[in-house]
A = this chain, B = another copy of it.
Amino acid sequence: MATLPVSPLAPAQFPDLPQIGGVRFATAAAGVKYQNRTDVMLAVMDPGTSIAGVFTRSATRSAPVLDCQAKLGGDPEPGAAILVNSGNSNAFTGHYGQTSVSEITRTVAYVTGLPQERVFTASTGVIGEPLPHERITAKIEELNGTLAPDAIEAAAEAIMTTDTFAKGAEATVEIGGKTVSIAGIAKGSGMIAPDMATMLVYIFTDAHYEQDALQALLSGLNEQTFNCITVDSDTSTSDSLMVAATGAAGVDATDNESFQRALWYVMRQLSHQVVRDGEGATKFVEIQITGAASNADAKVHGMAIANSPLVKTAIAGEDPNWGRVVMAIGKSGAAADRDLLSISFGDVLVAEKGWVAPTYKEEDGAAEMKKQDITLKVDLGLGDGASTVWTCDLTHQYITINADYRS
């Protein structure tokens, strides 16, 4: 695998994540595919940990995803474990894929003493090749013997594939005089032929949060964070996002609004980091849609703009090409009236009432486009519907990563 340069949009450094009581991490170099690096991470959570998850909607999703989905909602009492490997996605591997999942979850259950129904896995990397699960199961004893509460950054590194930086985010909240912490890690969305972009996200908190309520909260926040980002409109067969609430802080955060906001913040930070590591990205783009007929319509418009190759190449070229934004709105399928539209790049009003704004100067638009972080605002002039989505530009480097490299 070629080593890619670190994204110009990367944060300066991995954040200082708080230790989360009730969860311990370990990593190992199993040699699934990569050599001379860690490629397996194990997280083990204490008894009583609530687990929630959301997963890819792909109709061809991988064996680990199907296994996780089947296990959601199980009894939190005995605790839980999450094992993730990089290098092989165990996707499109026929009936063999389920065998690999069973072998791994059975071994983790045996070694940790957890029931197999509380062992969740994910795999990311090459597709269509059988997962050499024996290389992973051979490492479970070692992993279990080296679990430590402060190894979350190592875990973030072990799950990277073609990511150019490790991703982490954190928040703390005071509830009833006690501090609860949230720490999350993510990988995505580098890809390399014939691998696929897979987004994996794991978030841990020492708050207690009732499991069914946690699942509902996660599903709702996911719609406002990870489901509002796009790099290239393609959907992995393995995307997974899980939250574990251990309760070690002795605080019940169920339905607490401060906690919900903190979890939203961590999810938003991680989702933005995924965009900032989009293949070939040189611009981080926030698209704010207002005035749509509904919130759903606003999101349809936002994603149509965010996924348009013509919009994304214009941004790469630092071209304030509002005509392509109009085009994307027109094709989205959601309600729009050409003559009520207004479009701004940053605070520069570019177009209104179906035409160029009389105050608009091309050099003002061009100056906005030279920024690394760009905000694109569209008001439909129809109603109160609003949505914000995030994407990156489409550059030569995207083509290089996805066409020029060969497996």
Contacts and interface: CB of A to CB of B under 8 A. Distances in A.
Interface of A: 56-61, 91-96, 126-128, 191, 193-197, 232-237, 307-310, 313-314, 316-317, 319, 321-324, 326-339, 341, 351, 353-356, 394-396, 398-400, 402-407
Contact of A330 (B58, B93, B232, B327): B58
A316 B400 CA distance: 10
Most interface-central of A396, A398, A402 (chain B CB within 10 A): A402
Contact of A319 (B56, B335, B406): B406
Contacts of A402: 309-310, 313-314, 317
A389 to B, nearest CB: 17
A317 B194 CA distance: 11
Given A92-B351, A232-B309, A330-B235, A128 B314 contact: no
Given A94-B339, A406-B317, A191 B236 contact: no
Given A94-B354, A234-B310, A317-B405, 7 more contacts: A59-B335, A193-B321, A195-B323, A233-B307, A234-B328, A309-B309, A314-B402
Nearest to A350: B128
Given A58-B331, A331-B235, A398-B309, A324 B354 contact: no
Nearest to A320: B194
A339 to B, nearest CB: 7
A337 B58 CA distance: 11
Among A57, A308, A399, the most chain B Cβ lie within 10 Å of the Cβ of A399
Nearest to A196: B327
Closest 10 CB pairs of A and B: A60-B330, A58-B330, A94-B355, A127-B323, A317-B403, A235-B331, A313-B402, A313-B403, A316-B403, A59-B336
A324 B341 CA distance: 37
B341 A60 contact: yes
Given A59-B329, A310-B232, A399 B395 contact: yes
Nearest to A393: B403
15 contacts: A56-B330, A58-B331, A59-B334, A59-B335, A92-B323, A94-B339, A193-B319, A193-B321, A234-B324, A235-B327, A237-B330, A313-B403, A319-B403, A395-B403, A398-B399
Contacts of A406: 317, 319
Contacts of A332: 59
B58 A327 contact: yes
Nearest to A328: B234
Residue of A92, A334, A336, A341 most packed against chain B (CB within 10 A) = A92
Contacts of A232: 309-310
Q: Which of A232, A234, A334, A404 has the most CB of B within 10 A?
A: A234
A233 B332 CA distance: 11
A338 B60 contact: yes
Contact of A92 (B91, B93, B326, B403): B326
A235 B328 CA distance: 7
Contacts of A319: 193-194, 403, 406-407
Contacts of A91: 323, 326
